[in-house]
Structure 1
Amino acid sequence: MHLIPQRDYKANILVVDDTPDNLRLLSAMLTSQGYEVRKALSGKMALTACQMVLPDVILLDINMPEMNGYEVCRQLKANEKTRPIPVIFISALDDVLDKAQAFDVGGVDYITKPFHGVEVVLRIENQLNLCLLQNKLQEKNTLLQKALDDLKASQVQMIQQEKMAALGQLVAGIAHEVNNPISFIYGNLQYASQYVSDLVNLIEVYQQEYPNPTPRIQEIVKQIDLNFLINDQQNLMGAMFRGAERIRSIVEALQNFSRLDEAQMKRVDVHQGIDSTLVMLQHRLKQTTDRPAIEVVKEYGNLPLVTCYVSELNQVFMHLLNNAIDALEESYEPENTNYQLPITNYQLPSIHIRTMLTTSDTVKICIADNGPGVCESVLSRIFDPFFTTKPPGKGSGVGLAISYQIIVQKHQGKLTCASSRGRGAEFMIEIPLKQTQLN
């Protein structure tokens, strides 16, 4: 029976054993399965054979004169050229200490004599498949690293606008690829939840109809802790729903990032956009058990209507105001030193919004907070895509990158941040009153 899959090459197996009968047996067994087999009667011969042609897998006997299998394996793993070769130890001893030592010196598997053909082939195939997957992963990692290195090199020469434009197509592809499977998962979770609920209802009916279950059923109920299982499955389903929803929100942010040409340009009152965004965020501005209410101070200048992509500009306001609120909440975390100051010396949380018309026919919008601020090392990367200092689950690292693209690329404007640690942060938007071309 042929056990190995069809390949476009013959896997090279080196069998090392000081017993000729074992060599002949293994060689015949493996050759009949389509492997290319080489034989070595000693450890020294095995090391020489590896230097001539690298095998794909080595079957290595432990108990050999002059140089045992452990020492052979040590020397193989000490050599950079032979280190990646998977070594499967073979021995007549089925001893736990032997197995432990075999893995300790670098072996990947262990086969005991007498040999079982199917077992030997399956163990070899496992290692060959694992090596194949590792090689493919290494290739992808190399390509990814090269892509990252190339991107970093180009960033030195390109302004932020060009970098963001180059990233748009990549993000669109990622969003598309992720969206399909997560939609499938999210949709089927509803059915799975209903199925589980139906099964739980069935169990409850059984308990009512048959209040005296058999001893076997009682034992199973006790083993699986049925009441805990029924209660906890709801928590599990809820956690999976929340996780799927989180991924969907990230995908939506990525899609917004890569579909910036779908909105229409209009002449609008930007103050209305700011005010409507503040209404949406009202629930986040209210007092909580951890901090006072956040005060919003508005200093609106006398602005004319501004030609812009209104929905996208509002999206920038949303990102910047949300970030300001996050920063202010960070001020009240116990580990923040500001939290320890007496309330008389501590500023109440506030967001300051200023708008003005400049002499160069642009509109300037400044959003400042009195939170903990941003250190210089973070400030230099603050508009980089996927860069975030927030804990896992609280930020995807695309909000400010999206905002930068909307202001700089879509509106030919400027988006900058001025901050220092402990002194709050101020984001400054500047866009032309009129756009030179309507996309």
Structure 2
Amino acid sequence: MQQTILVVDDTPTNIQVLFDLLDASGYRVAIAKSGEIALQRLENSLPDLILLDVMMPGIDGFETCRRLKAAVATQDIPVIFMTALSDTVDKVKGLQLGAVDYITKPIQHEEVLARINVHLQLRQLNQTLEAQVETRTAELRQALETVKQTQIQLVQSEKMSSLGQLVAGIAHEINNPINFIYGNLKPAEEYMRDLLGLIECIQTEVPELPEAVQKYVEDVDLEFLQADLPRLINSMKLGADRIRQIVLSLRNFSRLDEADFKAVDIHEGIDSTLLILQHRLKSTDTLPAVKIIKDYGDLPLVECYASQLNQVFMNLLSNALDALEEHSERQRAAGQAFIPKIQIKTQDLGDGQVAIHIVDNGGGMSEEVRSKIFNDFFTTKEIGKGTGLGLPICRQLVVEKHQGQLHCESHLGSETEFIITIPIKQLAIETAADESLLTIA
């Protein structure tokens, strides 16, 4: 490719000599008879090198060079001064302004060509090096992003594995003894009825009990025992049944045995997650009891990785509770009443997708914060309370694992809403994608 050299000189003889020399050497030559004209020409096209006379009317070569180096578009173009001056101070001044070399008048043809050739080669090498650096930087940036994503996946995998194993282990350990208790409650109730029946029979058939027996009946308050024991057994049955439900919810939440997509009840996963978080929903010194508002739509079974989707629910609900606690403290400090609420709404969108909305009234967030919440390692929590990986992992699970979308709407001083949309049939989406690829091919 032919290289262009801009000659800036107010002397016609010098211009003609340089034009003939450079043209004969295979260069494209552009001419400017003043610094002002040179700067104007550079607005439309950029040369590969500039030969710049020092002594010119209007703005001299030094001022022209200063302006060239101050502009982003022209600061990297090599400038060679041409001067008849032999004063070293002037040469130093030019070099300090950014010039790469000097040519002394009268011009020596071989010297001019040699210096031009050297600086053009240097510029070309520098551009090549910069391109290689940019390419390498891009490769390193991509490698870093890959490492970060791998780290996130490893953290998620380890987190899910640890949580799932912990929950499944607890469920297993509780399940055996509670089944034993629950299984024995029915015969215990029958034995109790038999014993109470026997006591009633004795009281009927033997109206006058021996004095020692009568005293014992009064001491133990037999009448109260007869009335309260059935209630006691019934309470034990209710408690045991509640524990069995909790165990079932723990097993549903972990779902370690479900590695593939499976059609599940989304509401069951949400309810299981709420049950695990039940202790955080109760009233405490820092937070009134959280009101859960369920607005469940009529949803079909949804194909998904159930345990992964439950982890998304867990993270979003935990974050909502964190926001409610912080907002409650602010409201209490301001002497204002606060009723914490979390609304969970589900709906069939009618286009093969379902949506899950999780809304809290925890004071919202600024647009600056909202725009960063899905960035890796971004967190507004104190050190040790947040890793900044929860929401990026949630988005990865929803977007990459379930071909869905996760986004957030929030306004400072108001509410925060997370919206999950996922397809009902994962295989249908994959098949459609395959067919589209075949059509394009």
TM over 0.5: no
More helix by share: 2
More contact order relative to length (CA 8 Å, sep ≥ 6):
1
Task: Give the TM-score normalised by structure 2.
Answer: 0.41
